[in-house]
Amino acid sequence: EPEVTQTPSHQVTQMGQEVILRCVPISNHLYFYWYRQILGQKVEFLVSFYNNEISEKSEIFDDQFSVERPDGSNFTLKIRSTKLEDSAMYFCASYRGETQYFGPGTRLLVL
Amino acid sequence: SQQGEEDPQALSIQEGENATMNCSYKTSINNLQWYRQNSGRGLVHLILIRSNEREKHSGRLRVTLDTSKKSSSLLITASRAADTASYFCATGLTGANSKLTFGKGITLSVRP
């Protein structure tokens, strides 16, 4: 069964560094999302993406964040200058038939 | 804003028992979904119930939805140790690009 995949599974970075989290959504899905989950907290919506543009974004998704679909398969989340509070698990999801299918997540640790 | 809130926050049961988890939300929804998350892992979709449905079954899972009370319950029958995980309800509005709003989750422990 097709799955959403994410790389890397873990990333450690220094505060102020740029990180790019990668996702390969399920092929033939057209809607993509990023969520994050700070340790012990709720899963929070960051951004949705359709037809090569952002559909909706949350307050969390400020100018430090950007998303891109550079080719037909990858969907990336970039954090330009990481802060300590960006440490979280980041989930990518793609949508079909009323259901969002989530990837396994990237655990980001900002030191 | 719509918000899923589950209760109890933690549940510990013996293998073979049934587990019932509840979720409440605040605003109108198009559907409500339950997800499972094993420790430190990704979210696995379990079941979706639409706002015009009252009950749905999938294997050992039974989900109900009461839109008048803005609440849902997830029942896992004949629980197994492998059901140990966190369970989240998530609500969505109409439309493919609708974000999901998650509750804080319920930690279920099934003792062998």
Q: Which structure tokens are listed for B22?
A: 């509840």
Tokens of A11: 């990333």
**What is the Cα–Cα distance from A79 to A29, expressed in whole angstroms?**
24
CA angle A50, A84, A89 (to 5 degrees): 45
Instruction: Quote the CA–CA distance of B29 and B51 in Å, as a whole number.
Output: 7
Q: How many angstroms separate the first and last alpha carbons of chain B?
A: 40
Confirm or reject contact between B31 and chain A (CB < 8 A): yes
Report the pLDDT value the prediction gives residue B53, as an integer from 0 to 100. 95
∠ at Cα A96 (A90, A98), nearest 5°?
A: 95
What amino acid is encoded at A33 in this protein?
A: Y
pLDDT above 60 (res A82): yes
- Higher-scoring residue by pLDDT: B92, A36: A36
| Rounded Cα distance, B1 and A63, in Å | 23
pLDDT tens figures, A69-79: 988 789 999 99
Q: Is A73 left (phi over 0), alpha (psi -120 to 50) or beta?
A: alpha
The pLDDT tens digits of the residues spanning B57-106 come to: 999 999 999 999 999 999 999 999 999 999 999 998 866 568 899 988 99
Contact A30 B96 (CB under 8 A): yes
- pLDDT above 90 covers a percentage of chain A that reads 78
Is the pLDDT assigned to residue A7 strictly greater than 60? Answer: yes
Q: What is the mean pLDDT of residues A31-51?
A: 93
* pLDDT over 90 (residue A4): yes
- Cα–Cα distance, B71 to A92 (Å, whole number): 27
Asked if B40 is an interface residue toward chain A (Cβ–Cβ < 8 A), one would say: yes
**A67 confidence band (pLDDT: 50, 70, 90):** very high
| Confidence at residue B42, expressed as pLDDT on a 0 to 100 scale | 86
Q: State residue B17 phi and psi, 5-degree precision.
A: -80, 165
Could you check whether the bond before residue A104 is cis, i.e. omega within 30 degrees of 0?
A: no
CA B105 to chain centre: 8
B101 shares contact with chain A (CB less than 8 Å): yes
The string of pLDDT tens digits covering residues B1-50 is: 335 677 778 999 999 999 999 999 988 888 999 999 988 788 999 999 99
Amino acid B97: pLDDT: 64
Of residues A88, A109, A91, A108, the one with CA closest to residue A100: A91
- A98 pLDDT above the threshold of 90: no
**Which residue of B31, B33, B104 is in closest CB contact with A42?**
B104
**What mean pLDDT do residues A97-107 have?**
91
Q: With cut-offs at 50, 70 and 90, classify the pLDDT of residue A41.
A: confident
Q: What's the pLDDT at B1?
A: 36
A43 pairs with which residues across the strands? A37
pLDDT (0 to 100) of residue B8: 74
- Does the distance separating the beta carbons of B48 and A48 come in below 8 Å? no
Question: Are A105 and B48 a contacting pair at CB < 8 A?
Answer: no
